[in-house]
Amino acid sequence: MKIELQNVSHTYDVEVLNNLNLSLSKYKSVAIIGVSGSGKSTLIRMMSGLEKPTSGQIFINDFDVRDDLYKKKIGFVFQSHNLFPHLTLKKNITLVLEKTRGFEKEKAEEIALKNLSLLHLEDQVNKLPKNVSGGQAQRASIARALSMDPDIIFLDEPTSSLDPILTHEVLQAIEELKVLGKEFVIVTHVMSFAKDFADYVIFMNEGRIVEQGPPSILETPSTQALKDFMAKVR
């Protein structure tokens, strides 16, 4: 995966991202970490094309993230599952495939069942989101993203609303997906997962990229900001 950030800044009422520059290649999984309010979620939304920066440019795998073709090559998993509450887990996927990809019903169902099974949800396909656990609903959301056959899956704190047991369940499922050859960018507050899953870690603080490198930086940080952060989350 190639990631290029060129002088990226973003402002709401206050500055959230401050002149970010980054050039990465060859990494398959990137974790973005930092305290709440450091700009992590804003950055991943910019990288996925869900929001546009106030200034600067972002290129992922040589695509400008504003390009409509790029948006067809990615999947996004939000902090909450964002499933349609009145549709079964299977229908949450088939409807999207039929409406956005033009698949016939039979093909859409085949893809939905395949990806729900990959996330160990084969016994839950006909249940509504309210009738499954939070972890199962979030795994269904990941299955929906997978069903679009993306090159890259972006995950914005996919376990933030889950208890420790369900968090482990969802993160284990994400780990298993690495064998599919997909590329991942994930915002996470679970440092043990970042260490095990990511090939590269980006630490943000106050809208800036303060430290970056292999997961080993979490064990031997070189900046005081990352040292302080790791002391709080261990």
Alpha helical stretches, state H, 31-104: 40-47, 68-71, 89-96
Residue 135 domain flag: yes
What pTM, to 2 d.p., does this model score?
0.93
Q: Which residue has the tokens 């990959």?
A: 118
Instruction: Please list, in sequence order, all residues whose beta carbon lies within 8 angstroms of the beta carbon of residue 228, skipping any fewer than 6 positions away.
Output: none
pLDDT in tens, the chain (234 residues): 999 999 999 999 899 999 999 999 989 999 999 999 999 999 999 999 999 999 999 999 999 999 999 988 999 998 888 999 999 999 999 999 999 899 999 999 999 999 999 999 999 999 999 999 999 999 999 999 999 999 999 999 999 889 888 899 899 889 888 888 889 999 999 999 999 999 999 999 999 999 999 999 999 999 999 999 999 887
Residue 9 domain flag: no
The pLDDT of residue 189 is: 92
14/17 Cα distance (integer angstroms): 9
Domain count, the chain: 1
The pLDDT of residue 36 is: 92
Domain range holding 97? 76-149
Amino acid (1-letter code) at residue 193 = F
The pLDDT of residue 201 is: 98
Residue 117 domain flag: yes
The pLDDT of residue 138 is: 94
Structure tokens at 157: 């704190």
91/110 Cα distance (integer angstroms): 12
> What is the number of other CB atoms lying within 10 angstroms of the CB of residue 220?
10
Helix (H) or strand (E) holding 53: none
Compute the CA torsion angle 87, 92, 94, 99 (nearest 10 deg): 100
The pLDDT of residue 131 is: 97
Residue 35 domain flag: no
Residue 162 domain flag: no
Helix (H) or strand (E) holding 45: helix 40-47
Q: Is 129 left (phi over 0), alpha (psi -120 to 50) or beta?
A: alpha
- Relative to beta strand 15-24, strand 3-11 is antiparallel
Residue 128 domain flag: yes
The pLDDT of residue 147 is: 95
Helix (H) or strand (E) holding 76: strand 74-77
Residue 116 domain flag: yes
Residue 2 domain flag: no
Structure tokens at 133: 């656990």
SS3 letters across 123-156: CCCCCCHHHCCHHHHHHHHHHHHHHCCCCEEEEE
Structure tokens at 31: 């974790």
